[in-house]
Structure 1
Amino acid sequence: MNEKILVIDDEPSVHEVVRAYLEREGFIVYSADNGLEGLRLAESKQPALLVLDLMLPDLSGEEICREVRRRSDVPILMLTAKSAEEDRVTGLELGADDYLAKPFSPRELVARVKAVLRRTGGGDVPLVEHLSFDGGALRIDTSRREVVAGDRTVDLTPSEYALLLALAQYPGRVYSRFELINRVRGYDFEGYERTIDAHVKNLRKKIEPDPARPRYVETVHGVGYRLGAKPS
């Protein structure tokens, strides 16, 4: 496997447990006990995934998440004592891909890391390599995991990409939030509606000409979402 994981947390016990379980599964683990060191390692080591605590002595996890998202679409798993639903949704809206509350099961953390990395790798193989909608206004190259909206190549997190791909493979079909959470994968059932809504909000900001009046990711009230654009 030999994929690199960066753990940013100020608790030595967390580093010890997470390192032991991840290295047992073949991962290479780097550690930082503060935000500035974490950002430095994220830049120099180019990890496949970040495990990020929200409560750090210098920078907050939210600040780190914003800065990482400004530079990269590396998957982020937030690990924190903030377990309220609103804190979880805030983390997802900042661009995190998953959220695990302390105290946590090390085995569950390993499972979630693997699930997020599977999404990063693309999950199920799409039926076609190139998807185009609205006369080419929205294009998806699945072989390169590249999305172009208008004349812009947009950077999507793994969860945002998986969500868009699920909708794009069957345009016009209405997906319930429960169906989408299973396609995106990696989350508990509890709070799944807010989880999907947070990813849809972020996705619209990136691909819609006017996020307030979406033409691609449409809401079907009382049911879920669909891709409203026509294939081209």
Structure 2
Amino acid sequence: MSKIGIIGAMQIEIDLILDQMDVFEEFLFAGFPFYTGTLHGKSIVLTRCGVGKVNSAACTQIMVDRFQVDCIINTGIAGSLGKDISVCDMVISSDVTHHDVRKAQMKNLFPFQESFLANQNLIELAKKACESSDLKLTYHCGRIISGECFVSESHLKENLIQNYSPACVEMEGSSVGHVSFINQVPFVILRCISDNADEEASISYENFEKLAASQSAFIVNEMVRMM
């Protein structure tokens, strides 16, 4: 049986999935909680990695090494960087990259990738889950960028748009994709939009954080059900 790894940064991003799981065992490695069990009859490893790229990279590597997962789905929330991408829309990663690492460094140093491509089968499954869910969510497929900061300034937002042509920005997805790539594990990053990555971002984030996190987790739940 295939084993599905699911990663969320914060507890609210995994609560819905954890509530639906039949949990068999709980583990704690390097401070990260890992829950093993089943969801819709599928073998699942669920974890909370904490905020930021270093945390998510460490957690992803532990998941690969300790649990030998066959694919990884990263669920969470993000700030919109697309004019047609609104709060509570879903973004499915086409690829992911670090916006706080120079492109030349990405290209010329190991693992010699300017970005990391998400698995096409997982992308299509995520699209199908969005289309078939009762939530009737609007979804977009595009580049997700990550860095060690919460983007809440218009000048930074415009710079990121100009340099990367991304759909959204957050703080974990690129490192999950990076670690998945070097371990040859298929992955996809899912984000529900909580804010517009501008001066109103903090207020919007507080208002929509829980809803956005729950909607992203719901789509992951649908994906597992459809596998």
User: Same fold, TM exceeding 0.5?
Assistant: no
* TM-score relative to the length of structure 2: 0.34
Where relative contact order (Cα < 8 A, 6+ residues apart) is larger, the structure is: 2
Structure having the higher Rg? 1
* TM-score relative to the length of structure 1: 0.33
